[in-house]
C-alpha cells in the first residue's frame, strides 16, 4: 500500500524524511528508577543533555518510553515500566516540546521490555486466539503513544521495535491493522525498527514511509580485525541498504547504531554490556567501528540518516551502564559522531559544486 490510511492526512507527502536533509540523531535513554528521581525525560538534567546533543551537531533526538510484558507468551502490554504511564506520558510531551525549543526534531520509539530477560523478537502467543488478544493489547499501547507523538508534534514515530515473530510471518496482517490504527491518530512520518538480520524478511514496509532498522551489524567475524577488514564490513552493509531501498522504493534509516567501548566491538555488537565479564575497555576500537559502518554510506542517496545508541537523560549519571557500554559521550567515538554530523551526505539537497562530504574525515 504505502500511503496513509484513515482520516488524518500525512505530513510526509513525499518521501524526504527531513526536508532534504539527512537525519543526524542521538537516542536519549530514560532514567526512570525511583533511586534516581527528577532526572528523566522533561527534567532539568534532560535539558542539559539536549543542549549537549545540539552541541555535538545532532539535528534529531530519539526518545524511548517502555511498556512491559512478563514473558514471551504475549499476555498483554503493561504501559507502566518504572514510572506509571499517567505520569510518564506528560513527561514525554514536555520532553518533545523541550527538544523542539532547541531546534531538534524528534523520533518517538515506544519499546517493549520483557521481564523474563528474553528477546522480544521471539514473542509467541501460540494460538490464533492468543495472537488476537496480543494484537489488541499492543495496539492500545502503541496508539496511546502515537497520540502523545501527535499532540506534541513529534516528526517521526516508530510503531514497533524488533518484533520478528510478528512482522516476518503469516501473522503480519494483524500488524498492518495496528499500523492503520496508528495512521488514524498520527500524521507524521511512520516507520518500524527492524532488527538488522531480519529487515529483509520483514513484510510490512509497504505500509510505512521509511525502512527503519536497528543496525547492530557485525563488521568482522574474528577478533583483531584490521581497519581495512572493518571497512569492508561497512561496504557490505552499504550494499544491503541499497538493495532494501531498491526493493521497496523507500529510504532507509538506521533507527539505532551502536558499538560498545571494548576491544573488538564490531564482532558481536548486539551483546548487552551487563552480560560481559573481563572486558578490556577500548575507546579507539569503538570509534573505529562507528567510522567503518558510516563511512561507506556517505555517498548513498537513499540513506536517510541514523540515530546513535545511546546517551541518557541525565548526562551526569554514569550508573546506567558499565564503563564499556554503548554510550559514546565523552569518548573518542563522540569525535566520530561530530564528524559524521558535520559531513555533507549524498542524500541531501546541496548547492551545485558543494562537496559531497567534509574532506579528510573518513578513511
Residue 141's alpha-carbon distances to 4, 151, 230, 295, in angstroms, are 20, 16, 39, 37
Give the three-class secondary structure for 330. coil
Residue 352 domain flag: no
**Per-residue pLDDT at 5:** 35
Q: Is the peptide bond before 310 cis (omega within 30 degrees of 0)?
A: yes
Confidence of residue 118 (pLDDT cuts 50, 70, 90): very high
Q: Range of 293's domain? A: 23-342
Give CA–CA dist 307/125, Å, rounded: 31
Which of 105, 256, 121 lies closest to 189 in space, CA to CA?
105
Residue 41 domain flag: yes
Give the three-class secondary structure for 308. strand
Residue 1 domain flag: no
Give CA–CA dist 65/79, Å, rounded: 9
Residue 356 domain flag: no
Domain count for the chain, please give it.
1
Q: pLDDT (tens digit, 9 = 90+) per residue, 294-311?
A: 999 999 999 999 999 999
Buried/exposed 286-301: b ≥16 CB within 10 Å, e otherwise: bbbbbbbbbbbbbebe
For the chain, the first-to-last Cα distance in angstroms comes to: 40
Pairing of strands 111-114, 66-69: parallel
The CA angle 343-349-353, to the nearest 5 degrees, is: 75
Residue 304 domain flag: yes
Comparing 22-36, 126-140, 155-169, 318-332, which segment has the lowest mean pLDDT? 22-36
CATH code (residue 263): 3.20.20.80
**Per-residue pLDDT at 13:** 33
Size of the chain in residues: 363
Residue 44 domain flag: yes
> DSSP of 130-168, one letter per residue?
HHHHHHHHHHHHHHHHHHHHHHHT-SEEEEEES-HHHHT
* 58 CB-near residues (< 8 Å, 6+ apart): 24, 25, 26, 104, 341
- Average pLDDT, stretch 268-293? 93
Q: What is the pTM of this model?
A: 0.93
The CA angle 28-271-265, to the nearest 5 degrees, is: 85
- Average pLDDT, stretch 228-257? 97
Residue 7 domain flag: no
Residue 363 domain flag: no
Amino acid at each position: 500500500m504505502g500511503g496513509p490510511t484513515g482520516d488524518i492526512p500525512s505530513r510526509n507527502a513525499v518521501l524526504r524524511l527531513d526536508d532534504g536533509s539527512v537525519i543526524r540523531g542521538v537516542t536519549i535513554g530514560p532514567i526512570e528508577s525511583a533511586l534516581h528521581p527528577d532526572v528523566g525525560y522533561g527534567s532539568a538534567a534532560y535539558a542539559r543533555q539536549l543542549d549537549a546533543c545540539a552541541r555535538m551537531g545532532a539535528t534529531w533526538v530519539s526518545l524511548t518510553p517502555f511498556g512491559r510484558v512478563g514473558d514471551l507468551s504475549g499476555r498483554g502490554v503493561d504501559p507502566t515500566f518504572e514510572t506509571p504511564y499517567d505520569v510518564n506520558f506528560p513527561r514525554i510531551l514536555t520532553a518533545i516540546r523541550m527538544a523542539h525549543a532547541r531546534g531538534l526534531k524528534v523520533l518517538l520509539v515506544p519499546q517493549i521490555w520483557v521481564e523474563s530477560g528474553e528477546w522480544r523478537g521471539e514473542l509467541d502467543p501460540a494460538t490464533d486466539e492468543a495472537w488476537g488478544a496480543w494484537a489488541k493489547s499492543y495496539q492500545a499501547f502503541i496508539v496511546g503513544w502515537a497520540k502523545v507523538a501527535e499532540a506534541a508534534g513529534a516528526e517521526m514515530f516508530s510503531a514497533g521495535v524488533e518484533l520478528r515473530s510478528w512482522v516476518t510471518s503469516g501473522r503480519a496482517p494483524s500488524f498492518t491493522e495496528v499500523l492503520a490504527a496508528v495512521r488514524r491518530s498520527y500524521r507524521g512520518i511512520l516507520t518500524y525498527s527492524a532488527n538488522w538480520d531480519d529487515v529483509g524478511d520483514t513484510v510490512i514496509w509497504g505500509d510505512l514511509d521509511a525502512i527503519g532498522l536497528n543496525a547492530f551489524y557485525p563488521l568482522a567475524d574474528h577478533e583483531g580485525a584490521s581497519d581495512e577488514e572493518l571497512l569492508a564490513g561497512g561496504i557490505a552493509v552499504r550494499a544491503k541498504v541499497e538493495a532494501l531501498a531498491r526493493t521497496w522504493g523507500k529510504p532507509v534509516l538506521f533507527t539505532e547504531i551502536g558499538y560498545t567501548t571494548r576491544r573488538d566491538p564490531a564482532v558481536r555488537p548486539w551483546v548487552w554490556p551487563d552480560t560481559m565479564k573481563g572486558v578490556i575497555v577500548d575507546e579507539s576500537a569503538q570509534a573505529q567501528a562507528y567510522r567503518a559502518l558510516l563511512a561507506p554510506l556517505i555517498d548513498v542517496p537513499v540513506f536517510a540518516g541514523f540515530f546513535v545508541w545511546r546517551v541518557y537523560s541525565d548526562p551526569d549519571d554514569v550508573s546506567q551502564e558499565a564503563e564499556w557500554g554503548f554510550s559514546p559521550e565523552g569518548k573518542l567515538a563522540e569525535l566520530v559522531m561530530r564528524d559524521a554530523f558535520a559531513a555533507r551526505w549524498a542524500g541531501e539537497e546541496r548547492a551545485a559544486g558543494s562537496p559531497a562530504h567534509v574532506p579528510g574525515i573518513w578513511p
